[in-house]
Amino acid sequence: MAQNVIINGVIYQNVPKVNIPKSTSGTAEFVDTSDATVNNGNQLLSGKTAYANGTMYTGTIPSKSAQTYTPTTSDQTITAGQYLSGAQTIKGDANLQSQYIASGVSIFGVNGSLSAPTISQDSTTKVLSIS
């Protein structure tokens, strides 16, 4: 946001920044930050800084790099309030198919169709057959 400034009695309109020579070497740059929207470190990545309304803010949002999750018997949560800086991969399994899951059981939304085996005994040869 540009401001109107007076330097040595002269009015300059819509000035976005001012560069002033330093006493040693180089220049000091002053930028109007009154229209900035940052108002705390919770809006910036950890370690990053920004200026708003003349105040420097240091970020506090953690960054989560790429990670692979393997399903288990309990939920795994990617918590809120962090920046995902890499792909978050949930592993799959080609064997998660209905024919490998018992009928009446559902695993990760896959309903089983595998019937329980029947066991019979041949009375003459005493051999068990499972089908």
Residue 27 is predicted with a pLDDT of 93
Tokens 């490998």 -> residue: 100
Is residue 29 in a domain? yes
Say whether pLDDT at 7 is over 90: no
Q: Looking at the 3D structure of the chain, how many domains does it have? A: 2
Is residue 65 in a domain? no
Task: pLDDT band for 36, please (50, 70, 90 cuts).
Answer: confident
Say whether pLDDT at 99 is over 90: yes
Identify the domain containing residue 45 by its residue range. Answer: 3-58
Q: Which two structure tokens, joined as six digits, stand for 33?
A: 């930050």
Is residue 77 in a domain? no
Is residue 69 in a domain? no
pTM for the model stands at 0.60
For 76-96, write each residue's pLDDT tens digit: 999 999 999 999 999 999 999
The residue from 58, 77, 102 where one domain ends is: 58
